[in-house]
Amino acid sequence: MARRGQRSRLWNGVSAASLALIVLVVFLLCRDGGKMPKEPVIEGADRSWSSFDGSVKSRPTVEYRNGTDLIWQIPGSPKAVLFIAHGCNGRAINFWDRSSSCEGCVGLPEERLIVLEALSRGFAVLTVSSMGRCWTMGEERLVVREIIEWWVVKNGLEMLPVFALGASSGGYFVSALATDLKFGGIVLMIAEGVFDQIDVSGDYPPTLFVHMPKDTRRKQKIDEFMVQLKKKGIDVAEVKCMEFPLSPNFLADRIPGLGNDVSAELFKLFQREGFVDENGYMKKDGRATRWKKALDVDNKGLLLDKRLINHVQEELNLAFAFHEMTSLQSEQIFKWFESHLS
Ligand SMILES: *[C@@H]1O[C@H](CO)[C@@H](O)[C@H](O)[C@H]1NC(C)=O
């Protein structure tokens, strides 16, 4: 009898504890909506596509070498060189606005703003296309190393520090390239790097991780690698990029050639289709959102110029903040580069 009483008391205790735990979990989930804290930490987000209008212009030189294209521009009195590596499916043409000097250039919203920020701060910018869809870690490393060295000498920039910024596949590539070439610093954007595959010594360059913590698997690796690099005495830092809500004028603010009326119509469409929540946050990654299909039905009057589809796609991915090139943190990125100039 006594034993059964004890057991049932114990049982009551256990169920009370589990109930309390369940209540706590439900409370926590409901409070956050199961999402990242919603604080749009986006310095420079007020910077629209036109903020460089007149001050710096994309007027690059296009060249072919070693079976790939390089597109570059050198501002007056350059103080440093910046090599930029795109992500998978990217090309050098995405970084530059279409102009008479590059008819085939695309000028994706984030890429172009990174380049314009760099030029306005006196960085000579070199972009190269990968041979295939993504960067590869074999011979391509040697080819790009030679391209950078050749280009720097040809343009008389060998006295300047060379920095590198790589996004996604480009980030992995740059993290490896940093063992072949002497960089003054590297930015690995939405990429943890290949630090589990390369030998990193104390003279590895200062490394800034610009990442989107919503991508928790990458975030974990970055946390790990930051500890490892610090232990080896390497200067490391991070910038976290968070999600933010869309608004009626958001797309017009970010994309040259997309008007306020189209921007507002698209925002309405996204609301109507339930692609954004009541606060304007993307519910899913832009790639997983069937907005192009919804647009097809709606786009009979050609609401959106087809040439801007990839531009819109990029901004939707950016707002969701899981995995996309970002220029919103340019201010922090370039201040960090500048703090490593000497
Ligand atoms: C790249 O091209 C240059 C000029 O044609 C050539 O001398 C060099 O060997 C090439 N590099 C590689 C790695 O193929």
**pLDDT per residue as tens digits for the range 127-159:** 999 999 999 999 999 999 999 999 999 999 999
Neighbours of 332 (CB within 10 A): 17
| Domain ranges, residue 275 | 250-320
Residue 143 Cβ < 6 Å to ligand 1: yes
Residue 56 lies in a domain: no
Buried b (16+ CB within 10 A) or exposed e, 169-206: bbbbbbbbbbbebebbbbbbbbbbbbbeebebeeebbb
Share of the chain above pLDDT 90, in %: 80
132 and 193 in a single domain? The answer is yes
**Residue written as tokens 């490896």?**
176
3-state class of 23 per DSSP?
A: helix
326 phi and psi, to 5 degrees? -140, 135
pLDDT tens-digit profile of 274-333?
999 999 999 999 999 999 999 887 666 578 998 999 999 999 999 999 999 999 999 999
Over residues 238-264, mean pLDDT:
96
Closest CA to 251 of 202, 192, 316: 316
Nearest CA to ligand 1 atom 11: 143
Choosing from 64, 65, 66, 149 the residue with most ligand 1 atoms within 8 A of its CB, the one to mutate for a pocket test is 66
18 and 145 in a single domain? The answer is no
CATH number at residue 115: 3.40.50.1820
Residue 52 lies in a domain: no
Of 22-36, 63-77, 300-314, give the range with the top mean pLDDT.
63-77
| Cβ-based burial of 26 (10 A; exposed 0-12, middle 13-18, buried ≥19) | exposed
Residue 91 lies in a domain: yes
130 and 165 in a single domain? The answer is yes
Nearest CA to ligand 1 atom 13: 143
331 and 275 in a single domain? The answer is no
133 and 207 in a single domain? The answer is yes
Residue 48 lies in a domain: no
92 and 177 in a single domain? The answer is yes
134 and 220 in a single domain? The answer is yes
pLDDT at 32 over 50: no
Choosing from 128, 141, 146, 150 the residue with most ligand 1 atoms within 8 A of its CB, the one to mutate for a pocket test is 146
Q: Please report the DSSP string for 59-100 in residue order.
A: --EEEEETTEEEEEE--SS--EEEEEE--TT--GGGGS--BT
Residue 149 Cβ < 6 Å to ligand 1: no
Residue 204 lies in a domain: yes
Residue 297 lies in a domain: yes
262 and 234 in a single domain? The answer is no
CA distances (Å), origin 246, targets 31, 47, 155, 277, 331: 22, 15, 42, 10, 21
221 and 95 in a single domain? The answer is yes
80 and 173 in a single domain? The answer is yes
331 and 283 in a single domain? The answer is no
- If one counts the domains in the chain, the total is 3
pLDDT tens-digit profile of 153-181?
999 999 999 999 999 999 999 999 999 99
pLDDT tens-digit profile of 189-213?
999 999 999 999 989 999 999 999 9
Residue 254 lies in a domain: yes
181 and 121 in a single domain? The answer is yes
**Residue written as tokens 């974990």?**
220
Residue 45 lies in a domain: no
Atom of ligand 1 nearest to the CA of 143: 13
Neighbours of 105 (CB within 10 A): 21
